[in-house]
Amino acid sequence: MRGFNARHFMEKAIEVMRKSIAEPREDGKASPKVGAVLINLNINTPRKSRVGVAYRGELRHGDHAEFTLLERKNRDRKLDDCVLFSTLEPCAPNARKHPKLGCAERIVLARIKEVWVGIEDPDPTVDRKGIKYLQDSGVTVHMFDRDLQEVIREENKEFFAQALERAASAAEEQAPEITLSPLEKTLELSQIEDLSGEALEAYRSIAKIVEDVQSAAFRRRLVQQGLLQKEGDHFVPTGFGLLLFGKEPRTAMRQAGLLGTIHFPNGQEEPKDFNGPQVFVPEQAIDWLRNKLPNLIDRSNSRRVETSQSLFELVREGIVNALVHRDYSIQGAKCQLVVTPDTIDIRSPGRPVDPITLEQMQSFGAPLLSRNPVLHYVFAQMEMAEERGLGLKSMKRHAEEAGLPLPRYTWEDPYLALTLYRSPDSVSRTLNPEVLAKLNTDQRAAWEFLTRKEAVTSHDLMRQLGCDEKKAQRILNKLLEFRLIRRVGKGPATRYEVIRPPLPPRNVTLTLK
């Protein structure tokens, strides 16, 4: 059991989740389907007792799966050596009415040190706070595989749809103790007049909110979503509210905004700052690029328009990700958009949110997890972001549809950098010049083909280049020699994956502003 198969227990938790029993309610509120699996890694535990399961409502209506598993079924057992799998984020402290404990608190009290979470709780007032509480308490947290997260989300479609529209009064009466960002609170001297009526109206219109922007009901909604707080008789914007809708958010937060720079082939450069309401920034940046770079793609006319549009979609998603998922506690750095003749780089301060890794992001299969759920919710409602997650799947799809190299993620302290390639052959021009000079035409064409895929076989390359097996192997061996690719698997299952070499030095200033 020590070397347990995590995927097996993720799937088992989902299987158990489907047995959930919804409690009878008169208010029409949907109950989530939640399954939990507890595995005991202590070798002295009898085999029949090493795995336990529970689902919501199994023994009592309304009882959470984690509560049933830990308190009803295992109250008399030591759980120090156990690992818990739960399909929904355990509720955080204060998420349940006193004197009930949140499930995250029960997990910590049970001394469980490793937890696998299926998907975040979708309510922006509690989203990721259960995970944060576990991490702050020394618990190692992992997320379920991306494909299984999609299954959980589909099974809980009705619950997720309702979760963002309920219990505004509860959010006003008692704020959660777990803080993901200082921007959840109001900023000194900020007031509701600092918000842009145009930005708020755009949000209301695109998100199909019926209440008028000036109405008490609309402001109550913003309180529920973590964008306003009520102080006495007044409503005051939180840091997130000011960031998204503020007329000049940089006045209060110097880390707000997007700093753009275009480096033209003739050596000239043009900077531009996007410092207004952040909900407008992605489209403003795209409009700026369209005007300055009308011919982004050097390709045949038949596909230029289609490919250029796909690249702009990539840029838009990259900018939204940078604004939504950056670490706003890094106050000296702004998001950056840097355009060179071959690449478009989008830099976001901060590493991927724990437990997401850079490798998972580069594989485009990172689990769904938001660093700043409040920001993510608003951008999703304005149809600029996936409802959950990092938009990595659509990034990969847009690149593939355009025939462009797949985007790449790197860490350039203090930035998580996303590199988008402006044309199919630009990925070769960003290679080390010494390596590029040693590649012949076929080898360069093979390299450019491989960078558009996650992995290929020798037969894939044969079909692409129209060559035989021997020539394909010679080309692959040369790319292996230059450490541009790696061989994975053996025999008929052999595949080749791209090793993204470091980009050569670029004429880009990374000063903190």
* Both structure tokens of 132: 């944060």
Pair (183, 150) in one structural domain: no
What's the confidence (pLDDT) of residue 209? Answer: 93
Pair (435, 365) in one structural domain: no
Pair (85, 126) in one structural domain: yes
Work out the pLDDT band at 28, boundaries 50, 70, 90: confident
CA–CA separation, 474 vs 461, rounded Å?
11
Q: What is the CATH number of the domain that holds 285?
A: 3.30.565.60
| Per-residue model confidence as pLDDT tens digits over 48-62 | 678 999 999 999 998
| Per-residue model confidence as pLDDT tens digits over 186-213 | 888 889 999 999 999 999 999 999 999 9
CA–CA separation, 430 vs 69, rounded Å?
54
Could you list the residue range(s) of the whole structural domain that residue 266 is in? 258-421
| Per-residue model confidence as pLDDT tens digits over 437-447 | 999 999 999 99
Q: Which of 227, 249, 271 is where one domain is finished?
A: 249
Work out the pLDDT band at 8, boundaries 50, 70, 90: very high
| Per-residue model confidence as pLDDT tens digits over 79-96 | 999 999 999 999 888 766
* Three-point CA angle 280, 283, 287, nearest 5°: 130
- Give the pTM: 0.80
Pair (414, 447) in one structural domain: no
- Give the DSSP H or E segment for 481: helix 469-481
Cβ contact 127:373 at 8 Å = yes
Percent above pLDDT 90 for the chain: 59
Rg (Cα) of the chain, in Å, rounded?
25
284 or 400: which leads in pLDDT = 284
Compute the average pLDDT of residues 235-255: 93
CA–CA separation, 408 vs 342, rounded Å?
14
Domain-located, residue 513: no
pLDDT surpasses 50 at 174? no
Work out the pLDDT band at 504, boundaries 50, 70, 90: low
Pair (407, 272) in one structural domain: yes
| Per-residue model confidence as pLDDT tens digits over 445-484 | 999 999 999 889 999 999 999 999 999 999 999 999 999 9
Q: Which of 400, 421, 442 is where one domain is finished?
A: 421
Domain-located, residue 172: no
261 or 42: which leads in pLDDT = 261
Pair (293, 410) in one structural domain: yes
What's the confidence (pLDDT) of residue 364? Answer: 83
Compute the average pLDDT of residues 165-170: 46
pLDDT surpasses 70 at 433? yes
pLDDT surpasses 60 at 166? no
Bridge partner list, 419 = 345, 408
Reply yes or no: is the peptide bond before residue 99 cis, omega within 30 of 0: yes
Bridge partner list, 128 = none
Read off the amino acid at residue 17.
M
CA–CA separation, 12 vs 10, rounded Å?
5
Q: What is the CATH number of the domain that holds 44?
A: 3.40.140.10
Lowest mean pLDDT across 133-137, 323-327, 348-352, 385-389 = 385-389
Cβ contact 346:390 at 8 Å = no
Domain-located, residue 173: no
Residues 6+ apart with CB under 8 A from 165: none
Read off the amino acid at residue 339.
V
Domain-located, residue 401: yes
- Give the DSSP H or E segment for 117: strand 114-119
| Per-residue model confidence as pLDDT tens digits over 93-136 | 876 665 578 899 999 999 999 999 999 887 766 678 899 999 99
Pair (275, 412) in one structural domain: yes
User: What mean pLDDT value characterizes the chain?
Assistant: 87
Pair (157, 262) in one structural domain: no
CA–CA separation, 366 vs 392, rounded Å?
8
Work out the pLDDT band at 507, boundaries 50, 70, 90: very low
Work out the pLDDT band at 248, boundaries 50, 70, 90: very high
CA–CA separation, 239 vs 272, rounded Å?
24
What's the confidence (pLDDT) of residue 184? Answer: 87
Pair (326, 375) in one structural domain: yes
What's the confidence (pLDDT) of residue 26? Answer: 75
Pair (414, 278) in one structural domain: yes
What's the confidence (pLDDT) of residue 169? Answer: 38
CA–CA separation, 208 vs 211, rounded Å?
9
| Per-residue model confidence as pLDDT tens digits over 252-309 | 888 999 999 999 988 899 999 999 999 999 999 999 998 887 554 444 444 444 567 8
Pair (349, 242) in one structural domain: no
Bridge partner list, 415 = 349, 412
What's the confidence (pLDDT) of residue 499? Answer: 85
Pair (352, 468) in one structural domain: no
The total number of structural domains in the chain stands at 4
